[in-house]
Amino acid sequence: RLGRKTVDAALLAEVPVAFVAYDCIAWDGALVVEEPWATRRARLLSLGWPAEAAAHARLAPAREATTADEVERAFAAARAAGN
């Protein structure tokens, strides 16, 4: 923040920031980390994530990998995308 109370449009354009949710470990004041991932993901999906807000807040995409080859392909795709 560097002492700023407000951020102007020029700074936002120079240093764009977005919130990307990957997982949910607490919900409504309760820890949910012991819940299955699919349940936690459903909680995040329930928030709506409007398309017009995607530049500032979004839910990370998810895909299931069940083999080592699938994990390697997903990792290679993520790296190719700049992640």
pTM score of the predicted model: 0.68
pLDDT tens across the length of the chain (83 residues): 567 778 788 887 888 788 899 999 999 999 999 999 999 999 999 998 888 888 889 898 888 899 999 999 999 998 998 87
Q: What is the token pair recorded at 32?
A: 């949910």
Side-chain-side CA neighbours of 77 within 13 Å: the count stands at 10
Indicate the residue type of 44: L
**Among the residues of the chain, which ranges form H helices?**
9-14, 37-45, 68-80
Asked if 62 contacts 20 with a C-beta cutoff of 8 angstroms, the reply is no
